[in-house]
Structure 1
Amino acid sequence: MTRAVLESFGGAESGRFREVAQSLVKHLHAFVSEVKLTEEEWFEGINFLTRTGHITDDKRQEFILLSDVLGVSMLVVGLNHRHVEGATDSGEGVEVVRGDGSLPTGSTEATVFGPFFVEGAPAFENGDDISGGAPGEPCFVSGRVLNAGGEPIPGARVDVWQADEEGFYDVQYDDLEGARGRGRLRTDEEGRYSFWSVKPEPYPIPYDGPVGDLLRAAGRSPMRPAHVHFMVQAPGYATLITHVFAEGDEHLDTDAVFGVKETLIAPFVRHDAGAAPDGRETKGPFYTMEYDLVLAPAGE
């Protein structure tokens, strides 16, 4: 049976399609044979994938979530972003710049895209508040976008999105109009970016659907550590998709989507009321997080 199916893809016009399809068939058939899959289990698998499709819409991508919790998303990210000067596959040896003036030896590590990115986020100027009234403690985020030589990249597009203190992204609210905790900025002539938002908090991935059923069956936690998403684009450089995680978060070692990397952890520092780094006077406590994002040349 396996040989017959493999041969049926042998005449594919695209060599890459043929390679992928035949490898998929080979491994899928090996899996079915290894576990001696029953007809009932096969049907339950079909039902699971059907439910995954039914719950997916323009605000929720359950298939991406499934890929995330199976570790496939991070495996693809690792395979496609492993040839970066100064970095190993595990990220060791990468000196990430966090506003202390040190120079990078490699580009910032990539991690999962996640299911809550939205095209067409509102544009902001550096220093603006992108929270949109989201609940949470004020947090000032800043840093630079650099090349691997430590030189600033002016005019880079920086997309940012995050959950609020309730653990929800703006698109998860049915009655919310407009963006919250989401925006797009451009770096200045010195490659700097900055914005006000709210301190991110840990949250569970959506577990009211088939992916949640999978996690419960496995006895796994749905929690993600607190983080801020970044997507950075500039002409001549590879697009960077990454997170910055909150140092000390209790879920760093058990991230439901396996997205945490050592170099992507940064302190969120609490301050008493007073002058913020941008000169703003705050009436209550606030947090700051500073992190430099380093882009690899296009094609690397």
Structure 2
Amino acid sequence: MRAIRFQEYGGPEVLLPVEVEVPEPGAGQVSIDVAHVGVNFADLQARTIGYRVPALPFVPGLELSGHVRAIGAGVEGFTVGQPVAAISDGGAYAEVVVVNAATVFAVPEGVDLRTAATLPTVLPTAYALVNTVGRLRQGETVLVQAAAGGVGTVAAQIAKIAGAGAVYGVVSSPAKAEYARKYGYDDAFLSATFDTDVRTATGGRGVDLVLDSIGGDTLRRGLDSLARFGRLVSFGNAGGEAAWQVGAAELFPQGRTVSGFSILGLSIAAPEVLQDIAAEAFALTTSGQVELPITAEFALAEAADAHRLMEGRTSTGKLILTVNP
């Protein structure tokens, strides 16, 4: 079968098409004939710094849609040929992937496989950030980093459904700010000045909840943008900076809180919780309350081009690879 893998870390050029054996599911696993793959920033981090790469060579890819090909021992609730979406801890850039059955989701009725490839990581992540970890309350204000990306695009919509009083986004360009305002953001600020802009927009109060996927100094500035008793949820380190330490001096005076979230970590540690969160998140899409636009689509062999687009920080919404439509 066809797959895209890398055998050294580096730029998009290290992503190479290869022919590999078709994998077979073991106990508790399902194999899937892949239709579409969602491209995530974590895929770029795998390729460049080895994020969640156990060994080389490695086939990247964390989320996909397709049809059940084969079912391993002990797996119930799925049938061969059934349309599904899934989270895979690597391996999705291929014609067939094997995943743990606990992270496979039946595609909701009325959702096509192209759209389904955007659901497994992005929707549950945004839902959990707002509701499960962030615990947004009616009337509170929210600030979201990378507001024009996949998670950012749906986070504002979910926050508004949850009763947010105002949702502000942080983006890298005026074009992305214009895009973000189409998807639920009351305003969008540029990265260089967002902390000052937040204080201006809130009359000096700050926001109640910050969702940060950038890390480093951006996380510190986000923490400074919180109101008294505000919460910050860290869910990534896209900026690539060294981890920033926070302690009593930053938290105690204003009663602020910092927490963290990883959809991949949850899929391993508590897949049953992930299933519950995913069900709630998917319902928002099938009901038409939340939209995640696919803004660019590539063939599997063009995975390097998809990475170049995302790495250039000009993309918005969701990028996908089409394997077997």
Please, what TM-score do these two structures have when normalized by structure 2?
0.24
Computing the radius of gyration from Cα coordinates, the structure with the larger value is 1
Q: Which structure exhibits the higher relative contact order, with contacts defined as CA atoms closer than 8 Å and separated by 6 or more residues?
A: 1
In proportion to residue count, which structure has more strand? 2
